[in-house]
Structure 1
């Protein structure tokens, strides 16, 4: 089927057996980046008659993690036909070689804004886990017109001027040693294979990102999109139950308890996927 020249068409790539790379050229009323992708079939624009509206997700990880931590959630969302981005913040994961003393919270906010800008994202579900809550809060002023739902996963919901250190009561020795938290059970992960996986993947977190204050132009409650907070209620970390209770009293928020530990994308991936699917409806 020939794609109309004026359609804004996004291509989702797969092959039922093995991925194969190809160049996909999409005509649009304005210039777009060429997209290198593997193709199982073209996804129709929701504006076409009879098309099902699909969602776009941007999943932002927390401290010491990377885009890799969504490995059990992102494929499940994509299997439903949704578009999913799992950026790794500068200086972490496969981008750990970019870690310098200058990398801070503003760097990570810009990372997320750039995903939206360069991928031309609209009506996205923006998700932040843990430290990622500071990142998405800092980014939202620039992205309010591109976001349909803001989701915090056992995450900080900061006010203007807050930093990670100020929210946890100042730097603690375990944050200042080698920038890796031990044991992994701190994150509510106890399965031996999962523990080994996290130990192999976690990388030092930029020190500056923990002390930088977040810039919040206005409270997230003042924006027209929806807001959800998911609390890891099974093994709560000290910072988040009070946040969840405060938001539970605010009608602008939906608060959900998951009976698991902090890294819910690892320990309760199926349940979290269901929550994220609901957030797009």
Structure 2
């Protein structure tokens, strides 16, 4: 049973805390304390993307959650997809409050390059056919981050191919315009060895992910080795398609590190 172990689930771009509903339910039933916050301009957060100019602004709800933890409390942070960068930022700022950072088929930065590096490598390497994804500037001056919205084809073929039709319908109706914040992340200094670099990290590979494919997930692990690597045979939306397996995996990680 989870006891007092606290797991914080961090969603990816265009999603929200709702994407964890199956996994959060299972973990809570097993006795874990679970939070799945909506990041800024995501889920039911009322702000539009144009009011979230930086990645730190976007991640602020997670940072506020950690800042409010009582002294001595430590959490297991789980980042999915772009949520991996939010988890890294949180670990950089609050390393003493993070028992472990878990990257679930997620972008995982290192401490050598700027935080944008993994995103730039992903785009430059043409690891994904973006299909009907819509990316466009938010303002004529280019001061705001480029917006991003996934279309129905890429969702169906690259992200949700193992999900039920009901889950695809639900997810499609709850998607919101987001951003990868590459411009802002490229202007930031690398994370530090004493902050993010001091936190224990676990990578969970999803071997049937057509969004962030296994080859790129493996490259990130080779580039920035972790405590351990686990694997689930799942698509990118593993929390919807394989919730039982993922909940067991995260519970086991929490028991080991928290």
Q: Given the two structures, how large is their TM-score scaled by the length of structure 1?
A: 0.72
Aligned to 2:151: 181
- Measure how far apart 1:168 and its partner are: 2.5
Q: Which has the higher contact order (CA 8 A, sep 6+)?
A: 2
Paired with 1:59 and 1:269, the residues of 2 have a C-alpha distance of 13
Aligned to 2:70: 120
Aligned residues of 1:151 and 1:230 also touching (Cα < 8 A): yes
Farther off after superposition, 262-271 or 116-125? 116-125
| Selected match of 1:137 from 81, 88, 92 | 88
Aligned to 1:74: 24
What is the number of equivalent residue pairs in this alignment? 229
After superposition, where does 1:189-200 map in structure 2 within 5 Å?
189=161, 190-200=163-173
User: 2:114 matched to 1:161?
Assistant: yes
Higher helix share: 2
Paired with 1:161 and 1:105, the residues of 2 have a C-alpha distance of 13
C-alpha RMSD over aligned residues: 2.8
Farther off after superposition, 162-171 or 137-146? 162-171
Aligned partner of residue 93 in structure 1, secondary structure: coil
Aligned partner of residue 151 in structure 1, secondary structure: strand
> Gapped runs of 5+ residues in structure 2?
137-147
| Selected match of 1:107 from 53, 57, 60 | 57
Provide Cα deviations, 1:76-125, integer angstroms capped at 9, x if missing partner.
Answer: 11112211111101011211534325433111333211111124372200
- Measure how far apart 1:268 and its partner are: 0.4
Paired with 2:87 and 2:189, the residues of 1 have a C-alpha distance of 11
Aligned to 1:16: none
- Measure how far apart 1:258 and its partner are: 1.0
